[in-house]
Structure 1
Amino acid sequence: MSDQFYSDARLYDRLFPGGEQAVDFYRTETDRQGGSVLELGSGTGQKLIPIASDGHPCIGLELSPDMLAEAQRKADERGVEVQWVQGDMREFDLGRTFDLVFITANSLLHLHNAEDLVDCFRSVRKHLAPGARLIFDVFNPSVRMLAQADGVRRRRDALSFVDPDRGVVQVDVAETYDAAAQVTRGRWYFSTDSEADFSVAPLEIRNIFPQELPLLLSLGGLRVVERFGDWSRAPLTADATLQLYVCAPD
């Protein structure tokens, strides 16, 4: 399970602070689609708060209460109105439909079983208004990287960040790959020069390969309208690191 990984929402934001290209993409798509927006796995509101600040009515559904609390704090700080709802993206009923639903930043990959993914897509389908779209992004699995997931703890220099209270935080990760489940099982270690492993958290992420997604979407009552391999809308190729899908009701 990965609940512990998201129990410190501010630490999460410092670990993953960027995403400007993703934010720009989703803001552009929301402006193009218009209307109301639902984000599943909305986290601390990194994508949804900027979209709400553009004047779109927004709801964010998130399982983690810690992430929801930080999202509310950030929205209040910016004077932006967003409705935050605690819920599970596999099965939810908000009693209304939306013009755009999106799932960003690999949030979909916390659903490890095919049944859970299909349940999520079916729930999304029930919440899509006529002409609405589902948009989501997940990484494109690299067989080379999966083969290197040997359980050895290694430093991830690119992930180091500055914490205002602790100073420079270094990040180590140890991962193994469960090929039968298509799940990468990792343990993340956060340390400073004066405090080794002040936080250690497991993170388990599903790998979804490009040939799987159209079938899973179809089982959930959705079809692929477009798919891309990066935020500039380039085609999805074998060496693309991103899978970006635009979907509609089937």
Structure 2
Amino acid sequence: MSDHQTRTSQPADPDGHFGESAAATYDAHAADMFTPEAVDPVLDVLTELAGDGPALELGVGTGRIALPLAGRGVGVHGIDMSRAMVARLRAKPGGDAIGVTVGDFATARADGAGGYTLAYLVYNTINNLTTQAAQVACFRNVAAHLAPGGTFVIEVGVPDLRRLPPGQTVVPFHISDNRCGFDEYDTATQSLISHHIRIEGDRGSSVSVPFRYVWPAELDLMAELAGMRLRHRWDHWTREPFTSDSRQHVSVWEKPE
């Protein structure tokens, strides 16, 4: 099988919350995340960590990171459950050069497992796994894909619970003339639902997506269970120190040689 083919690792065909309607508008709605200012610092870190080896992107989506990373000379393979998102990746220049395994990135095995020098999950994608068991399985799956000395990178927000007074479960994250977004937390289960409401002309639309938030220390324990250890934790891709006031982190774990 050539690198540019798409392989299906499971018989079911759920695109989850990233089906055709989401895929059709994803790049436009996340346009600020496609700018050079947003992408280049990510590429700088990932290119350095990949070295001369291949990289595995979990939740490759429409190729926001995979395509420009491949453009820097890194061999990239992706895993994604959504065929609709992968179709958008395929339609872009260079998209056919990105190998993709269609499946759940917590369990799906990609070609070349055991030989990747880098695996990465960006833009809060670890939270798409909505149980702790699935997140633990993801770390173990990554460890099986990495070569000795390889690294696993996660970019994810710090749960915003300090903004929740007693009795409140909702935190707004975006308010504008045509868009409103808010997260609804359940602290007993570490689940949250992100609600997105948009108004375009005289029409409105809404979508609600479930996630499971996860703490930095919890991720470290998941890494330890998978046989990996923390190498770096930064506030952002530009490697500022992670502090008690950080609202997100970029963490790097290493598989021992």
TM-score range, shorter chain: 0.7 to 0.9
Q: Decide which moves more: 145-154 or 45-54.
A: 145-154
Q: In structure 2, do the counterparts of structure 1 residues 155 and 244 end up closer, same or farther at CA, with 3 Å as the change threshold? A: closer
Provide the C-alpha distance between the structure 1 equivalents of 2:215 and 2:68, rounded to a whole number of angstroms. Answer: 30
- Structure 2 letter corresponding to 1:137: E
Counting matched residue pairs gives 235
Which of these residues, 7, 24, 27, is aligned with residue 10 of structure 1? 24
Alignment correspondent of 1:194: 202
Which of these residues, 133, 141, 152, is aligned with residue 159 of structure 2? 141
Provide the C-alpha distance between the structure 2 equivalents of 1:226 and 1:80, rounded to a whole number of angstroms. Answer: 33
Alignment correspondent of 1:218: 224
Which of these residues, 102, 124, 127, is aligned with residue 86 of structure 1? 102
Is the Cα–Cα contact under 8 Å of residues 72 and 84 in structure 1 kept in the other structure?
Answer: no
Which of these residues, 104, 107, 111, is aligned with residue 129 of structure 2? 111
Runs of 4+ in 1 over 6 A off after TM superposition: 152-155
Q: In structure 2, do the counterparts of structure 1 residues 28 and 181 end up closer, same or farther at CA, with 3 Å as the change threshold? A: same
SS in 1 for 2:87: helix
Alignment correspondent of 1:69: 87
Provide the C-alpha distance between the structure 1 equivalents of 2:235 and 2:141, rounded to a whole number of angstroms. Answer: 26
- Structure 2 letter corresponding to 1:173: G
Is the Cα–Cα contact under 8 Å of residues 230 and 241 in structure 1 kept in the other structure?
Answer: no
Aligned alpha-carbon RMSD (Å): 2.6
Which of these residues, 40, 44, 47, is aligned with residue 31 of structure 1? 47
Q: CA deviation at 1:134?
A: 0.8
Which of these residues, 236, 239, 249, is aligned with residue 243 of structure 1? 249
Alignment correspondent of 1:129: 147
Is the Cα–Cα contact under 8 Å of residues 15 and 84 in structure 2 kept in the other structure?
Answer: no
**2:237 pairs with 1:231:** yes
Provide the C-alpha distance between the structure 2 equivalents of 1:28 and 1:47, rounded to a whole number of angstroms. Answer: 11
SS in 1 for 2:31: coil
SS in 1 for 2:74: coil
**Percent of aligned positions with the same letter in both sequences?**
27
Alignment gaps of 5+ in structure 1: 161-169
Q: CA deviation at 1:186?
A: 3.0
Alignment gaps of 5+ in structure 2: 1-13
In the superposition, the TM-score normalised over structure 2's length comes to 0.82
Provide the C-alpha distance between the structure 1 equivalents of 2:214 and 2:100, rounded to a whole number of angstroms. Answer: 28
